[in-house]
Amino acid sequence: MPLPFKRADRVAGLIQEELSHLLLREVKDPRLHQVTITVVRVSGDLRHARVFFTGPGAQTGLAEELKGLQSAAGFLRGHLGRALRLRYAPELTFEVDDSVERGLHIAALLKQVEATEGDGDA
């Protein structure tokens, strides 16, 4: 039996794909050339989309990339509305995705625990 997906989930996937394409091919801002869209979450009424992103400057906070995305939000929203043929183009809110850094931190902690347990066994 197939898993039931909400329309918002399907639209989020389409938005992520289209935004990635736009950032790669259409946007001329040099701050956004290496930005990666990691997750898009769309509200149930499809009017708001939270776009999570990361980039090569993740340790510095990605402030410049966030400013670039916010300044390009109108351009991106217009293209999304035309490409996806939605009744309302969702309002885009951009947020830095820190899940990769959290994952690396947890992996480092687990290695420390493994090393201390290995010393105790000897």
Q: What pLDDT, on a 0 to 100 scale, did the predictor assign at position 15? A: 94
Q: For residues 5 and 57, what is the distance between their CA atoms, to the nearest angstrom?
A: 34
Q: Could you count the other beta carbons within 10 Å of the beta carbon of residue 63? A: 11
Spans in the chain with pLDDT lower than 70: 1-5, 57-61, 119-122
Q: What pLDDT, on a 0 to 100 scale, did the predictor assign at position 37? A: 92
**Which two tokens mark 24?**
């790669």
Q: What pLDDT, on a 0 to 100 scale, did the predictor assign at position 86? A: 84
Q: What pLDDT, on a 0 to 100 scale, did the predictor assign at position 5? A: 65
State the Cα angle at 17 between 11 and 20, rounded to 5°.
135
Look up the pTM and report it: 0.78
What is the CATH T-level fold of the domain 7-97, as seen in this structure?
GMP Synthetase; Chain A, domain 3 (3.30.300)
